[in-house]
Amino acid sequence: MRTIELGTTGEQVSRIALGAMPMGTIADEQTSVALLDRYVSDGGGFIDTADCYSWWWAKGTDGGQSEELLGRWFARTGNRDRVFLSTKGTARIRDVHKAWPEGATEADWGYARPNYVGASAAVLRDSLDASLRRLQTDHIDLYYVHVDDRSTPLEETLATLASFVAEGKVRYLGWSNVRTWRLERIRQLCAANGWPAPVALQQEHSYLTPRSGLDSASIVDAEQADYLREHPDLALVAYSPVLKGIYDMSDADREAHYLWQGNYAGEQARAQVAAVREVAADLGVKPSQVVLAWLLAQESPRVVPLLGTARVSRYEEAAAALSLDLGPDHLATLGAARS
């Protein structure tokens, strides 16, 4: 598998990262291990998880299943030194039981989102130490603030993160689900205080542009893309790069999908889907593979797609995009639909 530099750190990471969110919950041990083994055998070495993965698929728990499974896999295989490991803190729920009303079969995200544990010094330290125990490792290669916390002074959060780096528990820092103005403030404070600045930004990012008027701290918009182009030291790790498969769906299924309805629906997005399908038909591949190839072809900002699957077949399909070369005409067709 090809590699790419993480920002301007000099660190080489796999061109496609593997997300471990479903591992240990909706993906059982055998299925998860088969995928991890396959990814590493292909030369992959960038694995992403979080301490909250995945309480919403395991009622009565507050997460940790993904990290625990990865820890067992590391212990059994000895692969820890072959993996650039990222995990995240701050997005556990203060009282996870309240996110499951009596008799509910699905978690109440309306309760959950305003009740994340946050990024205070005490919470971050407890979260990191618990992640290290579950993952059976002495350090995290890339540690993210999972959900930006405006209730805690940034100085407190950043000083605590800096201490993790000084102690050798964390090598690099990142941020996720954050607005551009906050990123700039974070960078300014790090520069002023000599603290290590984030080197990675993990956001939802795909070929489709967000619909006009969308207000989201989690999706790369035009302003954030411009900011990343001006700051190449900040790597973009794109979660949901194929938007849960909506590019490959029928028109009816896509139009009914919650991601489409909430974040992308509109005539421009329909034109973009049509362009992707045109290129896919010309190349004889799936639209989602074209999208991944397009992301991999971007130079400014450069993108590391994060594949969140636990099926070997889905991984194989996505990994095929690494060898899919989009020609100038294909890139022009896709670029014109986004302009």
- Taking the chain (339 residues) in consecutive chunks of 10 residues, what is each chunk's mean pLDDT? 96 98 96 97 97 96 97 98 98 96 93 97 98 98 98 98 98 98 98 98 98 95 97 98 96 96 96 98 97 97 94 93 95 96
State the pLDDT at residue 29.
96
State residue 339's pLDDT score.
87
The structure tokens listed for 63 are 């997460």
Q: Are 90 and 147 in contact (CB under 8 A)?
A: yes
From the list 47, 50, 80, the residue with the least C-alpha distance to 64 is 50
Establish how many alpha carbons lie within 13 A of residue 203's alpha carbon, considering only the half-sphere containing its beta carbon. 25
- Distance, in Å, from the CA atom of 252 to the CA atom of 274, rounded to the nearest integer, reads 14
Query: If 0-12 CB within 10 Å is exposed, 13-18 middle and 19+ buried, where does residue 23 land?
Result: buried
What pLDDT sits at residue 270? 97
Domains of the chain: 3-248+287-324 (3.20.20.100)
The pTM is what? 0.97
**What pLDDT, on the 0 to 100 scale, is given for residue 64?**
98
pLDDT of residue 333: 98
Separation of first and last alpha carbons in the chain: 31
Dihedral sign (CA 101, 87, 5, 155):
positive
300 Cβ contact list (under 8 Å, min separation 6): 229, 232
Q: Are 60 and 99 in contact (CB under 8 A)?
A: no
The token duo for 318 is 């996505």
pLDDT of residue 304: 98
- pLDDT for position 310: 84
Q: Which two tokens stand for residue 70?
A: 């990865």
- Are 25 and 58 in contact by the 8 Å Cβ rule? The answer is yes
CB 324 within 8 A of CB 266: no
Which of 169, 149, 239, 166 lies closest to 200, judged by CA? Answer: 239
Q: Other CB atoms closer than 10 Å to residue 199's CB: what's the count?
A: 19
Burial letters 124-155, b for 16+ CB under 10 A, else e: beebbeebbebbebebbbbbbbbbbbeebebe
Residues with Cβ < 8 Å from 328, sequence gap 6 or more?
none
CA distances from residue 28 to 62, 78, 87, 167 in whole angstroms, order as listed: 18, 20, 20, 34
Q: How many CB atoms are located within 10 Å of the residue 267 CB?
A: 8
Q: Rounded to whole angstroms, how far apart are CA atoms 88 and 145?
A: 6
